[in-house]
């Protein structure tokens, strides 16, 4: 499916902007990244952009996760995918509590790395995003990419969280620290298994070392 077609169908739905959708779509098509995992889909707008790219590639699938209450959104992901004609390309998973639990089940089914592109856009806290990255690292194929949204987001700055009871109980530091950025700077940038780590278009991007590079690094690590 061409970008303009999906972009017109999801117009007016909240979250991923048209410009961001274009960046994601082009990246997935250009680098041929057919196996997509998304953490946090909300209305499914970003999932539609990913699905359109997979459709354009002619192979692949999008596995995407959120919580059960995402079913109450208007539109919900099923409705938006149907409107776009992209339902067959996406499997939405509705977690009771957290996608980290669902990632555990994926690893239990098959511990092999099997995604080419992972988009992390949910949780946004040190605990959730940090642990999600650890699990995603196991599932990301060599040469695959992980992208973190909202590097600068804070619990105190977001109208959707700042007045919540649980946020008010946190320390000032926990409320005002951009926690996704902490994960990106402290866990991703420093990770020896990632070769191309950069901040671009407001996202944190990291490429897992391709197999040849990974074995070279293992060899150098051993011979030191």
Ligand X SMILES: C[S@@+](CC[C@H](N)C(=O)[O-])C[C@H]1O[C@@H](n2cnc3c(N)ncnc32)[C@H](O)[C@@H]1O
Residue 12 vs 58, nearer CB to ligand X: 12
* Residue 94: strand, helix, or coil: strand
* 137 interacts with ligand X by CB under 6 A: no
Smallest distance, ligand X to C-beta of residue 99, A? 4
Given 28, 86, 128, 188, the residue binding ligand X (CB under 6 A):
128
Could you count the other beta carbons within 10 Å of the beta carbon of residue 150?
21
Smallest distance, ligand X to C-beta of residue 43, A? 6
* Two tokens, residue 78: 């099923």
Stretch that binds ligand X, among 1-9, 93-101, 198-206, 216-224 (CB under 6 A): 93-101
Angle (CA) 142-131-16 rounded to 5° is 75
Residue 49 vs 194, nearer CB to ligand X: 49
Smallest distance, ligand X to C-beta of residue 219, A? 37
Nearest to 26 by CA among 5, 58, 57: 57
Could you count the other beta carbons within 10 Å of the beta carbon of residue 202?
11
Given 9, 37, 70, 136, the residue binding ligand X (CB under 6 A):
70
List the interface residues with ligand X, window 36-65 (CB under 6 A): 40-42, 45-46, 65
Binding mask 21-40 for ligand X (x = CB under 6 A): -------------------x
Given 62, 121, 135, 209, the residue binding ligand X (CB under 6 A):
121
Smallest distance, ligand X to C-beta of residue 160, A? 9
Angle (CA) 74-28-145 rounded to 5° is 100
Residue 21 CB-density burial (10 A; 0-12 exposed, 13-18 middle, 19+ buried): buried
Could you count the other beta carbons within 10 Å of the beta carbon of residue 149?
21
Tokens 């555990």 locate to 104
First to last CA, the chain: 49
Q: Which residues contribute to the site for ligand X (CB under 6 A)?
A: 15-16, 40-42, 45-46, 65-67, 70, 95, 98-99, 121-123, 128
């Amino acid at each position: 499916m061409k970008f303009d077609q999906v972009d017109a169908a999801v117009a007016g739905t909240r979250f991923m902007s048209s410009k961001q959708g274009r960046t994601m779509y082009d990246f997935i098509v250009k680098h041929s990244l057919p196996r997509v995992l998304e953490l946090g889909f909300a209305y499914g707008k970003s999932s539609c952009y990913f699905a359109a790219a997979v459709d354009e590639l002619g192979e692949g699938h999008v596995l995407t996760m959120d919580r059960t209450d995402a079913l109450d959104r208007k539109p919900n992901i099923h409705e938006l995918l149907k409107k776009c004609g992209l339902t067959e390309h996406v499997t939405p998973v509705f977690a009771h509590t957290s996608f980290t639990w669902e990632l555990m089940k994926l690893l239990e089914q098959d511990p092999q790395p099997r995604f080419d592109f992972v988009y992390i856009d949910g949780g946004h806290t040190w605990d959730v995003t940090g642990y999600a990255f650890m699990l995603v690292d196991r599932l990301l194929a060599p040469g695959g990419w992980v992208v973190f949204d909202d590097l600068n987001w804070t619990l105190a700055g977001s109208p959707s969280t700042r007045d919540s009871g649980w946020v008010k109980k946190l320390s000032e530091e926990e409320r005002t620290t951009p926690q996704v950025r902490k994960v990106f700077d402290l866990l991703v940038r420093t990770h020896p298994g990632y070769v191309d780590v950069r901040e671009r278009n407001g996202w944190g991007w990291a490429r897992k070392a391709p197999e040849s590079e990974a074995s070279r690094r293992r060899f150098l690590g051993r011979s030191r």
